[in-house]
Each structure stands twice: as C-alpha cells, then as structure tokens.
Chain A
C-alpha cells in the first residue's frame, strides 16, 4: 500500500489490484463523505498522472468511469468537473450505505442473528 497525494486528494494505492478501480472507488468514497466540493474542477489528466506516477490512460479510464456514473462531466476545452448535483451525490451516498448494510446483514444471517437481535444491537451500539 502506498499513499499518493494529488492536490487536495489523497489516494492509497495497492498494486495488487487494478489501479483504475481503486481510484474510482476512492473518488466515490470522498464524494459521498462530502470531502469534494460540488462542481469543482478535477486535476488535468497529465497533472494527475504525473503526481500519482501512473499511466495517463489509467486516469482517463477513471474519469470515464466516474462520468458514466454521472459523478463528473467533461466540458469541452475546460477539463473535467465534479457534478454540481447534490441529489446525484446523496444518491451515491445511499448506494454506498446500502451496499455496506447488505454485507452487514449477510454476515449476521450467516451467524444466525435474527432481525430483532440485530435491531437491538444497532440500538445499543455506540454511534459516534
């Protein structure tokens, strides 16, 4: 694992997994957590690649993936921008939370924990 910084973004790279998937994943997390300002400009492909020490094609692929999910948009001659749609981001936040909830439920089911027991556990957990 290696930490690499690009402007205000901090990424953790694990070279045993596809790089573009990690970048997409970490961008999604940062967005959902509200760490990226809506409508802000992403670094140019060149700057991103140079600072991350990765192939520019990996950056292009990352931006394309985010664009496909409606999380950023390319403006001709201006660069790539994070979506300015707050509903898009709350949608993403919900999606990530539901994913986490799904795996939480599956784990408890495997352990034989009932819905009632689980609800009690959540109610009692230290939510800080």
Chain B
C-alpha cells in the first residue's frame, strides 16, 4: 500500500523478558500528522525508534515508506530525540555546517532562515544553551532537511511556552508547503489537539484507542477527554 508512510503489523518487543509492546498494529497515512499519546514509559519512544531502525522488533513486521527499516532508509528520515546532544561543543553556526556535511538533504538556506525565525544567536555554544534554545536548535536542524518523514520524540516536553508556539508554527508551515508525514510522541495534549490527523493511545504495552481525530471527537469528545478516560 503506497499510501502508507508507516505500517506496524503485530509488533512486539521485550526488554529483559519484560514486555514493552505487545501485538501493535497501525498505519500512518502519507502526508498526515500522527500522534502517539501515552504516559511516560508506555513504549511510545520504542515505537519511534523502531521506525527509525534504531531498535528491532521481536515479533511482527514494520514498513517505513514502503520498505523494511534500514540504515539507508534512516538517512532519509529526520528523527528528533532529546538524547542526541552531539552539538554540545559546537556553536549554532558550526552545528549548521555539521548538519550540512552530515545530511545530503540539508538545506542551508532554509537553516539560515530558521536561525532568524527562532531568534538564535549563531555564536551560542551548545552546552551553554537553555532547554528552550536547545529545542529550537534541534527543531531547526530537523526542519532544514528535505525529507518525507519526520519522527519527533516528545518534542514539547519541558519546553517554554514561546518556544512551543514557535515549534507548532513551524510544523504547520512545513506541512502546508509540502507533503510531509510527521509522527509525534507526546503526553502533552494541549499542543497537539488541533494539529493531529490521527492518533493512537498506548497503555500497558498495547494500543487502546486508534483513529481519525475528527471522528474521535464526534464519538468521545476532545483528545483531553479521551486521555482522561484512558489513563485516569
């Protein structure tokens, strides 16, 4: 099915005999913003890592952009995770150069625009950044790439309001301008309530609710209501 950006079929994973994901099946249509919601430790990040080929499933099958996850495929995906802090010893300007040398699809012109957009100082050093500035740099690096698929792992967690609003603005602009599939894991609903096309709620290793957000609103109310229903 070419219209699927991502397909999970019966995916399971255990760490040290403890199951973290059990029989997970879902499809992310191309060009949509897909939310994986759930509390901390629900296995959301593991799902994202599997899409990025950074973690292999024990059972089941995964397809990303019509292929099995691979290192070649990973280079065509922008994956944002809070843990990858390779830029500590670089300034913003150096990080851009690094991005350009590392990713063939890196758009330097776009990156320069985004430095302005995010009001970042080019001379600012990675390890001297606030959490908000770090988030801005990570987003900038991610959204300067010309890719079809972006995987954002908890992008809004612990980030100040102004930065979060800028991030949302950049996401909406980007999906207005080109076909881009976004998968976002989060436990912060406010940010994504208006943004998501589809969503899955993960709880105790399983997907407990999955569907088109506008349809879910008709059936069960807001994502926030649903979230309370699932986790409270």
Residues of A within 8 A of B (CB): 13-20, 45-46, 49-50, 52-58
Q: Tell which of B175, B176, B223 has the most Cβ of chain A within 10 Å.
A: B176
A52 to B195, CA, bound (A): 10
The 3 closest A-B pairs by CB, nearest first: A46-B176, A54-B194, A16-B221
**Inter-chain contact A19/B175, CB cutoff 8 Å:** no
Collect the chain B residues with CB atoms within 8 Å of residue A14's CB: 222
**Inter-chain contact A20/B214, CB cutoff 8 Å:** yes
> Distance (Å) between the CB of A70 and the closest chain B CB?
23
B80 at the interface (CB under 8 A from A): no
**Inter-chain contact B195/A46, CB cutoff 8 Å:** no
**Inter-chain contact B177/A16, CB cutoff 8 Å:** no
A17 to B193, CA, bound (A): 11
**Inter-chain contact A45/B176, CB cutoff 8 Å:** yes
Q: Which residue of A lies closest to B216 (CB)?
A: A18
> Distance (Å) between the CB of A3 and the closest chain B CB?
13
Interface of B is mostly: helix
Q: Which residue of A lies closest to B193 (CB)?
A: A15
Give the size range of B's interface with the partner.
Answer: 20 to 34
> Distance (Å) between the CB of A59 and the closest chain B CB?
9
**Inter-chain contact B173/A46, CB cutoff 8 Å:** yes
| 1/0 contact string of B158-194 vs chain A (CB within 8 Å) | 0000000000110011011100000000000000011
Interface residue from B32, B33, B195, B197 paired with A53 (Cβ < 8 Å) = B195
Collect the chain B residues with CB atoms within 8 Å of residue A45's CB: 176
15 additional contacts (CB under 8 A) given A19-B194, A53-B194, A55-B197? A16-B217, A16-B222, A16-B225, A17-B217, A18-B218, A19-B214, A46-B176, A52-B194, A54-B194, A55-B172, A55-B194, A55-B195, A56-B172, A56-B176, A58-B194
A1 to B16, CA, bound (A): 46
B37 at the interface (CB under 8 A from A): no
**Inter-chain contact A53/B172, CB cutoff 8 Å:** yes
B224 at the interface (CB under 8 A from A): yes
B96 at the interface (CB under 8 A from A): no
**Inter-chain contact B175/A56, CB cutoff 8 Å:** yes
> Distance (Å) between the CB of A7 and the closest chain B CB?
16
Collect the chain A residues with CB atoms within 8 Å of residue B168's CB: 53
A125 to B18, CA, bound (A): 70
| 1/0 contact string of B208-232 vs chain A (CB within 8 Å) | 0000001101100111110000000
**Inter-chain contact A50/B195, CB cutoff 8 Å:** no
Collect the chain A residues with CB atoms within 8 Å of residue B218's CB: 17-18
Collect the chain A residues with CB atoms within 8 Å of residue B175's CB: 55-56
Knowing A45-B176, A49-B176, A55-B175, the reply to whether A13 touches B197 (Cβ < 8 A) is no
**Inter-chain contact A50/B217, CB cutoff 8 Å:** no
A18 to B193, CA, bound (A): 11
Collect the chain B residues with CB atoms within 8 Å of residue A54's CB: 172, 194-195
**Inter-chain contact B195/A15, CB cutoff 8 Å:** no
Q: Which residue of B lies closest to A22 (CB)?
A: B217
**Inter-chain contact B197/A57, CB cutoff 8 Å:** yes
Collect the chain B residues with CB atoms within 8 Å of residue A16's CB: 217, 221-222, 225
